[in-house]
Chain A
C-alpha cells in the first residue's frame, strides 16, 4: 500500500476509494451527504478550464469540488 493520498491528487480518468475525511463541521456533513463515506469509489473526470474546481463522479452523480475541499477527502494510494 502506497502512502495516503487525497482526492485532489487524482488525475482525470483515475479512480480511488475514500478512506476518510479531513474536513470538519458543515463541509464534513455535506461531503457525507453526497455519499462520500469510507469505501466510496470516486472517479476524477477533469478540471474546469481555469484548473479549479474539478469534477468527480460520486455514486452516479457528477459533483464539482474545489481543490481545497477535494484535498480534505483522503483516498487510498491505489488509483486505478
Chain B
C-alpha cells in the first residue's frame, strides 16, 4: 500500500533529497532504524506529516523530510529507509549510511523496537561508529509491556554511552523527551562517552591501529578515522570510497601512506592465512556479538517479542490447512463489506449530486449564459465530476480502511510468506507479493515500493507486472460492472455475496496473470535464477482503528479522489465537446468512436468504451463516468440515480453480458495510468522497460478479450 500524499502520484517518483532548512540555524536530525520499528510513526508524530505507516518491513522506501520546532529551535527531520545494517549491501543501506556520513545530519536518532532490542542494537552500534551524536529511541514500549518485556533504559544508556529515550510513539509517549535529547545531542552537548563502540578481534584491531594515522592525516576530524579504517578492511566499503572522493575530493586507497599500510597488512594476512572474507565476517560479527552482550544485560532473560499468542496466530494464518482458506475468506469479507457498504451511499450521493446539478443548470440558465456554456459546465464538467464522486468514493472509502487494518495488524507479510512458493517458481522475489499488495492501493506506489527488492532483475519483473492487480481507481469500476451485469439480478444478501465472490475471482485472475507474466519475463526478457531474500514477519500489533479510518479517508481516499476529479473535469470537457461539435453528418464523438469501433468489436468492446479507456489514461477512475457521459451527452437527459438505471442505459447502447465481461477484463488488464508509466520510467531509467510495462498488460488484456469474445460468438452465446 504505502499510499499517501507523499508516496502517490507524481511525487512518488522523487528520490533525491535536498535538505530544506527554513533557517540556517536549524538542526538536521536523521531518523534511522530497522524496518518496521515505527520510525514513520515517530516522524509523523513530530512533524505532523502523514507519511504512510503500516506493519510491514520496507514501506518507507525513500527519504522523507519534515519540519518541527521546539523552544524556538527548528529541526529538519529526515526519515531514512529502514535497514538492518549500515554495511551498505543494498541501495537503501547506502542511502542511510551516506546520509549519516555526509548528509550533514547534526544528530542521528536510531529508533529501536523494544520487543526485539538485540537485533536493533546492531544498527545502533554501527551508527555510533559513524557519528558520536546518536540518540537511541526505544520505541514500542507499550507493545513490550503487553508482552511482559522489560528493558532497563538507564543501563542501556550507560552501556552505550549515548542518551536513551523510551517511547510509545503511537500514543505520543516519550516524544518530547526524545526531542529534548536530540536537540542536546545536535548541539554537541551529549557526545558518546566511553571507549571503542565495537571491539574487534586482535587481527582487526592491529590493522586499524596501522591504518588510522594516515587516515587522520588525510581526512582530519571530519569523518571518524576508526570507522574509515574499518571500511578499508571491509572491501564492501568501495561505494563509500567513491562517495568520499565525490564529497571530500580524497581518494583514500590511492594515497601512498594508506596504500603502503594496506600492502603491509595484506602481506601479513597472507602469511597468517587470513582471507578478506574472514575479515569481513569478523567485522560483521563484531557488531552482532556486542549487541548480544548489551541486550543480555538490559533485557530480562528469555523475554522475546514473539509471544505464544503470535505463534498461535501464525499457526492459524500461515498453517498448512488454514493459511490459504483464511486468506481467501479475508479477501472475500473485505470485498463483500465494500460492495454492500458502498451500495446505499452511492445511490444517495448520486441523487444528491444530480439534484445539485439541476439547480446549477437553472442557475446558469437564469444568469442568461448561452446554452452551450451551460451544457459545457453542467453537462460536461459537473456531470463527469458527479459520476466520479458517486461511483468511486463509497467503495474507496470502505475498501481503504479495511485494507489498512490488515496492514496495521501485520498480515501483509504473512500473505507474502504464504505466496512465496508461487513467486519462487516463477523466478520472482517473494517480496513481490508485498509490492503487488501495494498495487491494490495505487500502482504507482507499488512500483516505487519495488525498491525493497534487491535483485535488479526481480525488481524489474515486479515493476512490469504490478499493473495486473487493480488499483483503488479500477476496483470500483470492476465492482460496478459485476453488480450491474453479473450479480445484480440476485439482489439482497445473496447478490452482494455473489458480487464479492466474482470480484474475488477477478482479483485472483489478476494475481494469476501477475504470476504468469512474471514467469514469462523470467524465462524470456529477464532470464535468471531466483535470488536469495529474507522476509521478516513482524509481531502482530493491535491496529489503532480510529486513526486508521481517519488517515485512510483523509490521506488516501480524498487524495486519490482529488486526483481523479482534477483529471475528470478536463476529460468531461473533452467528451462534451466531442459530443457537441458536428462535422459532416455526425458529431466528433461519433467519428472517433466509429473509427475505433471495428477494432474494438474484435475484442468484445465498442468504440466508446475504448475511447473512454484511452481518455482515462491519466486516471482510471474516470473510465466508467466517461462511458456514461459519451452515451448521454448527445441525447436527452436521463435520470440515472442508481446502478439499475445505469444498466438500462448501457443495455440501450448495445451492451450485453459479453461487453461487460470484456470491459471487465480490459479494465483489469490494460496500460498503466500515466502516473504509473512515468514512475516506471523514473525507476527503471529506461524507455524500453516502460514500453514493455505499457504493452505487457495491454497485449494480455486484448488477447484475453479477443479469445473470450470470439469463443462466445462461435458458441452463439452472445
Q: Give residues in A with beta carbon < 8 Å to B.
A: 21, 23, 26-35, 37-38, 40, 45-53, 55, 57-66, 68-69
Shortest Cβ distance from B285 into A: residue: A37
Given A31-B534, A59-B118, A60-B305; A66-B417 close (CB under 8 Å) = no
Given A49-B318, A52-B420; A34-B119 close (CB under 8 Å) = yes
Q: Which of A32, A35, A48 contacts B421 (CB 8 A)?
A: A48
CA–CA, A32 and B535, complex, Å: 14
Q: Which of A35, A50, A66 contacts B418 (CB 8 A)?
A: A50
Q: Give residues in B with beta carbon < 8 Å to A.
A: 84-85, 87, 89-90, 115-119, 122, 236, 280-281, 284-285, 288-289, 291-292, 304-306, 310-311, 314-315, 318-321, 323-324, 416-418, 420-422, 424, 430, 454, 530-539
Shortest Cβ distance from A43 into B: residue: B306
Query: Total number of A-B contacts with CB less than 8 angstroms?
Result: 135
The distance from the CB of B159 to the nearest CB of chain A, in whole angstroms, is 17
CB of B535 within 8 A of CB of A33, answer no
Q: Which of B89, B236, B314, B420 contacts A53 (CB 8 A)?
A: B420
CB of B119 within 8 A of CB of A61, answer yes
Q: Which of B85, B236, B281, B306 contacts A61 (CB 8 A)?
A: B306
CB of B536 within 8 A of CB of A61, answer yes
The distance from the CB of A15 to the nearest CB of chain B, in whole angstroms, is 13
CB of B534 within 8 A of CB of A34, answer yes
Q: Which of B85, B87, B534 contacts A63 (CB 8 A)?
A: B534
CB of B116 within 8 A of CB of A60, answer yes
Shortest Cβ distance from A27 into B: residue: B532
The distance from the CB of B13 to the nearest CB of chain A, in whole angstroms, is 26
- Among A27, A29, A37, A63, chain B packs the most CB atoms within 10 A around the CB of A29
CA–CA, A68 and B538, complex, Å: 22
Given contacts A35-B291, A55-B318, A69-B532, list 7 more A-B pairs with CB under 8 A.
Answer: A26-B454, A31-B534, A32-B285, A35-B118, A50-B420, A64-B534, A69-B533
Given A33-B284, A48-B418, A53-B417; A64-B430 close (CB under 8 Å) = yes
Interface of A is mostly: mixed
Given A34-B84, A59-B119; A26-B89 close (CB under 8 Å) = yes
The distance from the CB of A60 to the nearest CB of chain B, in whole angstroms, is 4
The distance from the CB of B294 to the nearest CB of chain A, in whole angstroms, is 12
For B421, list chain A residues within 8 Å (CB): 48, 50-53
CB of B284 within 8 A of CB of A37, answer yes
Shortest Cβ distance from A40 into B: residue: B288
For B539, list chain A residues within 8 Å (CB): 62
For A27, list chain B residues within 8 Å (CB): 531-532
CB of A60 within 8 A of CB of B119, answer yes
Q: Which of B90, B321, B537 contacts A62 (CB 8 A)?
A: B537
CA–CA, A59 and B89, complex, Å: 21
- Among A28, A34, A35, chain B packs the most CB atoms within 10 A around the CB of A35
CA–CA, A38 and B315, complex, Å: 29
- Among A45, A51, A69, chain B packs the most CB atoms within 10 A around the CB of A45
For B280, list chain A residues within 8 Å (CB): 29
CB of A50 within 8 A of CB of B284, answer no
What are 26 A-B residue pairs whose CB atoms fall within 8 Å in the complex? A26-B454, A29-B89, A32-B284, A32-B285, A33-B85, A33-B284, A34-B119, A35-B119, A35-B288, A35-B291, A37-B281, A38-B285, A40-B288, A46-B314, A48-B421, A49-B319, A49-B323, A55-B318, A57-B306, A60-B116, A60-B304, A61-B306, A62-B536, A66-B430, A66-B530, A68-B532
CA–CA, A34 and B82, complex, Å: 13
The distance from the CB of B295 to the nearest CB of chain A, in whole angstroms, is 8
CB of B534 within 8 A of CB of A61, answer no
For A32, list chain B residues within 8 Å (CB): 85, 281, 284-285, 288
